[in-house]
Structures are given as structure tokens and as C-alpha cells.
């Protein structure tokens, strides 16, 4: 039987804590939505409540591999590539795609986390961590998201708290 694992993300503290059998295993600084907490489609907010990891994308990719539409582009992030694409919302290395578990709050209709394409993903090294700056997703340092990707599994519970 798999060891029970779960993740807690605090929007207030901009922090992720990973637990195994209720014991803290990993802790990361993250960056969530600049627009704050919210579940509505098009809000640009990070959804709160109970979620699960629905899919893991990017196994074996370079930690700085660029993903667009959940597919690797063949590019690897560099400062030069960033300079060529100013303002691009970089999704790098790994994606853990979230699905809400609370019908009417973060699942189905106009509040569906998965249909909003809310991920935990790697970000450019220039992206600040510890402050809310994303477009809704949970951004992490590339090395950190690789560690999380290897530790978590599809179905891991994720609680996002204000």
C-alpha cells in the first residue's frame, strides 16, 4: 500500500509543505496568483480548497525545458531565450495538474480547477518566490518542482489555504 502523502499550500505564507503520514518531509517557497485567492474561470486567481494531482507531465525533461499547452517545445530556458520573449509566462520542467474535489467551489461549472489549467510548475529563475506573482498557478523553482514531482504521485491530496 502506498504511503499516505499530502501537500498543503499557504497563500498567505507563499509556502508549500509536503507530508508523509502527517510528518513534514519537504518545504518549499512558492509564488501563487498576484490576483489572490479565487476559483472562478478567468479570474487569474489561485483556487482554494481540496484538490488532487490529476496528472504529472514532464518526467525526464530537462528541469528548464519549456512547456506550452502541456507539451515540451524543444526549447530550454536561458536568459537569452527570456530576452527574446519578454512577458512570457514560463512553465518549465514539470507540471503537476490539479483537479478540484469540491463541487461548486473548485470543481465543475465556472469554478473548475482542472478546466482552468491550474498547475504546480517550474518557473524561470528570474521569477520571484515568496510573493504572489503568478497568473493563478503555483510556481516553484525548477529544482524544487523536480523534487516534488519525484516525491508526489497522481492522486496526492493538495490543500490550498488562503
Q: Cβ atoms within 10 A of the Cβ of 125, count?
A: 15
- At 3 the pLDDT is 66
Give the chain's length.
162
- At 2 the pLDDT is 57
Contact 157, 102 (CB under 8 A): no
CA 143, CA 20: separation in Å to the nearest integer? 20
Going from the first residue of the chain to its last (162 residues), give the mean pLDDT of each consecutive group of 10, the final group possibly shorter.
85 98 97 98 98 98 98 97 94 98 98 98 97 98 98 98 97
CA torsion sign, 52 to 54 to 60 to 65? negative
**pTM over cut 0.85:** yes
Q: What is the domain range of residue 85?
A: 5-161
Contact 96, 53 (CB under 8 A): yes
Contact 159, 138 (CB under 8 A): no
CATH number for the domain spanning 102: value is 2.40.440.10
DSSP state of 79: H
- At 87 the pLDDT is 87
Which parts of 18-140 fold into alpha helices (H)? 79-84
Contact 70, 95 (CB under 8 A): yes
Q: How many domains does the chain have?
A: 1
Amino acid at each position: 500500500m502506498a504511503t499516505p502523502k499530502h501537500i498543503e499550500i499557504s497563500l498567505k505564507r507563499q509556502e508549500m509543505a509536503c507530508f508523509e503520514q502527517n510528518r513534514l518531509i519537504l518545504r518549499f517557497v512558492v509564488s501563487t496568483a498576484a490576483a489572490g485567492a479565487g476559483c472562478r474561470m478567468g479570474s487569474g486567481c489561485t483556487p482554494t480548497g481540496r484538490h488532487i494531482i490529476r496528472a504529472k507531465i514532464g518526467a525526464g525533461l530537462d528541469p528548464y525545458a519549456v512547456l506550452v499547452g502541456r507539451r515540451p517545445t524543444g526549447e530550454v530556458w536561458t536568459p537569452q531565450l527570456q530576452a527574446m520573449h519578454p512577458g512570457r509566462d514560463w512553465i518549465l520542467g514539470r507540471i503537476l495538474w490539479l483537479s478540484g474535489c469540491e463541487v461548486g467551489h473548485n470543481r465543475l461549472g465556472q469554478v473548475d480547477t482542472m478546466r482552468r489549467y491550474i498547475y504546480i510548475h517550474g518557473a524561470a529563475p528570474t521569477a520571484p518566490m515568496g510573493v504572489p506573482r503568478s497568473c493563478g498557478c503555483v510556481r516553484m523553482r525548477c529544482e524544487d518542482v523536480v523534487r516534488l514531482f519525484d516525491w508526489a504521485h497522481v492522486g496526492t491530496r493538495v490543500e490550498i489555504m488562503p
